[in-house]
Amino acid sequence: MKGAGTATVAASMGLAGCSNPADQGEDSSGGGPIPDEPLRMACIGFTSGPASVFGTPMMQSARMVVDQINENGGILGEREIEMEEFDENVDEVVQQYRRLATREEFDVIVGYISSANVLSIAPIAEELEQPTVVWDTGTTNLFDDAVTDPQYIFRTCASSSTDAVGAARLLQNALPDVETVAGVNQDYAFGRNNWDLFQRAVESLGIDVELVDARFTPFPNDDYSSTISALNDTNPDFIYSSHWGGDAVNFITQANNQGLFDDTLPCFTAGSHVIGNIPDEIPEGILFGARGPHYPFGDQQWNSLHGEFVQSYQDEYGEPPYAHGAFHAWQAIWAYVYAVERAYNLSGEYPTKDQWVQSMEGIGFNSPSGFVNMPQGSHNVVEPSFYGFSERQEDRVALRDTVWITPEHVNPPASMSTGEWIDNL
């Protein structure tokens, strides 16, 4: 088996005994010709603006992964990846996408954090037949609404359904003492979508809790004092919050000052990256999700790829990959590369973009966050839901007593939209 990923794949899948046709010298009995010119990959993420809390670690991880692949020769050990970074923080994302797909002729476009942006470019990706890998956006509307029959666009991370339905199941199965629940989410698409999904899941699953308050704070927001005062007064047992970035930092900092978390358990479904920003402010024993099991610390019996990834990232950038985006970048790039290598190894020919599409469908591979796969009939990867309690250690914050909920329980099947699926749980 040829491949940049061969060693990794072999090690993780126990296929160390595979022979490598490339060792047989010039003889191309191992397969057809591999293009000489480098693969052009565009990576798009927020490297400026508030969402750079996601984009910066994501881009750093992408850079690291591409460098590692190129160090081993590139895709299939031969074709180098030429990666260029682009800031998602532009007014004309569609123009940017078209330019990259047409005039700049990128072979694959990997990117997008913002829901609004991905919904704009998804139809264009299909129109231009441009291989596109969405790496971080959570919006369930991507395949429920914007592009219901995708060909060239894939998403290599799970949608917000894992966060919302996962939190609901967590309540039901692991937190039976909770009686009152409140929501504190940012007042924009992501915050509203999250709360909507969570609320519907709680209702649909028939969980015996009272939803006492649903707050939507301005986005962005620096002053949470009154919101916190109001929550102190209603005193819910549990808070569902999809807060992220500077807003989450402010919320947690001010909540600490006002003692909100003394008798209220918050669950920050997408807030794990904030731990990297304010490690000293994180109280003991509050719940964090990482948009899936994308967290560097804790005794969760991670696979060997996890340790390697965390260590490489730490060595390269001097800080651990607290942000889930770092893991998502790994998944996106390796998904693309594995799909190419798998197609080549199976057919003996370097795949065209349509052959790449076929190879991506149904792909499954080991990642630092466990086994990642794209169910048949879907262009959307599913991930388990993952939550843990913050545990302050000497030089880091780990997540303990983690709960993993299987992908089938927190992602809609390929045949249903998220809304339909949740309402019929």
In order, the DSSP letters of 153-203 are EEE-S--THHHHHHHHHHHHHH-TT--EEEEEEESSHHHHHHHHHHHHHHH
CB of 28 to other proteins, least distance (A): 47
Nearer to other proteins, 77 or 245 (CB): 245
Query: Position of tokens 């002053």?
Result: 223
Tokens of 119: 């919904």
305 vs 397, beta carbon nearer other proteins:
397
Q: Which stretch binds other proteins (CB under 8 A): 137-145, 255-263, 359-367, 377-385?
A: 255-263
Cβ atoms of residues 99 and 121 within 8 Å: no
Rounded least distance, CB 192 to other proteins, Å: 12
Q: Is 53 in the site for other proteins (CB under 8 A)?
A: yes
Q: Which of 21, 30, 49, 375 binds other proteins (CB under 8 A)?
A: 49
Task: Output 276 or 351, the one with its CB closest to other proteins.
Answer: 276
Non-local (6+) Cβ contacts of 310 within 8 A are 296, 297, 320, 321, 368
Q: Decide whether 30 or 49 has the Cβ nearer to other proteins.
A: 49
Task: Give residues with Cβ within 8 angstroms of 71, minimum separation 6.
Answer: none
User: According to CB under 8 A, which residues from 216 to 235 bind other proteins?
Assistant: 216-218, 220, 222-223, 225-230, 232-233
Of 63-71, 163-171, 248-256, 414-422, the segment contacting other proteins by CB under 8 A is 248-256
Contact 367, 327 (CB under 8 A): yes
Q: Which amino acid makes up residue 42?
A: A
CA neighbours closer than 13 Å in the CB half-sphere of residue 235: 3
Each as own residue / partner, the long-range contacts of residues 358-365 (CB below 8 Å, 24 or more positions apart, any chain) are: 360/154, 360/335, 360/336, 363/335, 363/338, 363/339, 365/9, 365/334, 365/335, 365/338
Phi, psi of 405 (to 5 degrees): -115, 130
Residue 299: CB minimum distance to other proteins, A:
28
The answer to whether residue 50 forms part of the interface with other proteins (CB under 8 A) is yes
Quick one: which segment of 43-51, 98-106, 148-156, 197-205 binds other proteins (CB under 8 A)?
43-51
Residue 48 within binding range of other proteins, rule CB under 8 A? yes
Q: Does 278 bind other proteins (CB under 8 A)?
A: yes
Stretch 179-218: interaction string toward other proteins, x if CB under 8 A: ------------------------------------xxxx
Considering only 90-98, 125-133, 169-177, 241-249, which stretch makes contact with other proteins by CB under 8 A?
241-249
Q: Toward other proteins, which CB reaches closer, 28 or 235?
A: 235
Q: Locate all alpha helices (DSSP H) within 296-393, ordered by sequence.
A: 304-317, 324-347, 353-360
CA angle 124-45-300, nearest 5°? 115
**Applying CB under 8 A, does 245 fall inside the site for other proteins?**
yes
Contact between 91 and other proteins per CB under 8 A = no
Told to check if 243 binds other proteins by CB under 8 A, we report no
One residue of 254, 312, 331, 378 binding other proteins per CB under 8 A? 254
Q: By C-beta, is 30 or 50 nearer to other proteins?
A: 50
Measure the CA–CA gap between 360 and 12, rounded to whole angstroms. Answer: 19
Is residue 259 part of the contact set for other proteins (CB under 8 A)? yes
β-bridge mates for residue 213, sequence order: 182
By beta-carbon proximity to other proteins, the closer residue of 67 and 222 is 222
What is the spatial distance between Cα 239 and Cα 222, in angstroms, rounded to a whole number?
19
What is d(CA 92, CA 30) in angstroms, rounded to the nearest whole number? 45
Contact call for residue 314 and other proteins (CB under 8 A): no
Query: Cα–Cα distance between 355 and 376 in angstroms, integer?
Result: 16
Is residue 250 within the footprint of other proteins (CB under 8 A)?
yes
Note the residues at the interface with other proteins (CB under 8 A).
Answer: 47-50, 52-53, 55-56, 215-218, 220, 222-223, 225-230, 232-233, 245-246, 249-250, 253-254, 257-260, 262, 276-278, 280-281
